Structure 1
Amino acid sequence: MNLDSRHLRHLAAVGRHGTFVSAARALGLSQPALSLSIQRLEDILKVTLVERGRNGAVLTEPGRLLAQRSEEVDALIAAVVHDIDLATQGITGKLRIGGTPLATSNIIPDTISRILAQTRDVEFEIVEDTDEALIDQLDRGALDVCVCASGQVADDGAYDFTPLFEAKTVLAMRPENPLARHGSLSLDTLHDEVWALPPSGGTFRKQIEALYVTSGWALPKRLIETSTIATLLKIVRMTDAISLLSEQLIRDELELGLLKCVEIAHPLAPRVFGILTRSDRAPTTLARLFHQVAVDLPGSAD
């Protein structure tokens, strides 16, 4: 049985458009040429593939099955061609990515999953740390790319920064916490509460401390400090400790009802997260692909 792939594509077009005239126009063929193509296919298979009537053309059950398989084959061929194109561009090798907890829980996995859908001949190493530690590793060449908050490096031309999204900071607590009844809370009313916070020295912790200083209040003394975001979240879920966290970071916990967020009467300015690279190092093709995919993700900055 000698099937011509062109005939299969012609059949699929008739199924999509519903008439020979519309399908022929979309294919750039004459209507008689398209009809002849379908007729040849029916002759080869010895089965009716299209029911022709006054209201158009409708595929029979064998016709629908064949058209579906044809489109699947076309999609597979397109995917293979795309993979070959990526390989010929040199999109192989390993990319070392650094990210803060917010980046490693959201945008970095989302970006990698989309890259792996295009090519699998790649490796990734992901490092989670504070902004300062990540930038130090970037400077030393231990990382190729960082996804971190803006404003962490001097504007001296040594770095390139592409903004991706803004992170809103909220007061997080478990729903059973008595404070969860409030729609908004002021920091001066929270001084005696137990706080779960990242350790001192990190960028986010410094921002929290600056908020207290500018508001004229001392930093709370009842602190639980942990550098592991998973531990911090578990403490907040299991106790009445409260924390200041990025709303995107606790998105899943909020949707599941495990945490609740309350507005802060003196809110922190949104933090802008983006891709940071060294401007004195030419990015690999894989690094450029990571950059492109991350920028194109839903919710990324225009």
Structure 2
Amino acid sequence: MYEQRTAGAVGLGSDEGLSPAELAAKYGLTVSGARPGLVEYTHLLWGRRHFIVSYATARLTAMYTAAKLGQIWQVMTPLLNAAVFYLIFGLLLGTNRGIPNFIAYLCTGVFVFQFTQSAVLAGTRSIADNLGLIRALHFPRACLPIAFTVIQLQQLLFSMGVLGVIVLITGEPLTLRWLLIIPTLLLQSVFNSGLALFMARIGAKTTDMAQLMPFIIRTWMYLSGVFWSVSTFSAKAPHWVGILLQLNPALIFNDLMRFSLMTSVHASALPQHVWLITAFWAGLVGLGGYVFFWRDEEEYGRG
């Protein structure tokens, strides 16, 4: 026993004068919650893909449990928004002039933009509203904003069935162009995920951003041709204004979905090289938001 105490004392004495970093290196200790490299982080995130989908599905199921109509609200919410916009902008303000099949045009814009709107708003609050989960479990924090984007995608997929019926009822035929819905939704999902990740980091640092974002998103909606024709407006506006409007990613996703569903929307209404521009926005925002979020990985849940 005495020899053990002596050995222990000698061991302790040999550590005197070492800095905390040197002690950690000597005994192979690592920082708890340290940010892994980007490649390793991506590998860890991919390993949690089942958790992301399960978490999103559970949250979506629980979202409407207190409502008597339950999951029907997934479809009723965008339909009611479309009805309000039709009353105000279509009937009272007359923005439907010059737009063939305005009902399908409006509903498509509302459904598609709400996907981006809901993903961004949920992403902004995803860290601040889940601090208990973040502090209790160790997992890549990017799981949360991505999971909330998956929730909004699941809601949109429910709504797309209703949107398809509306489009058909209003006189649009079922064509092969409907297959373009798939790449459009994939690119928009990447774009929305990146935007949600970007806003999640900002929202985690500045909690007031969750209160400000609805006003920013609403302004963005008014600029995205949800209930008015960009081509009609651009014909009367300066050329540079028209170019800026055509580069608006939310407007591009709206127009691509309308082109996919409606034969009354022609290819000439789309910006030149529209798929290249769409892929650029999805790649820039998707990858940029992911890296921006990852760089602050160690800070989420602290304080």
TM-score (norm. length: structure 2):
0.23
Structure richer in strand, relative to its length = 1
**Greater RCO between the two (CA within 8 Å, min separation 6)?**
2
Q: Which entry has the higher C-alpha Rg, 1 or 2?
A: 1
TM-score (norm. length: structure 1):
0.23
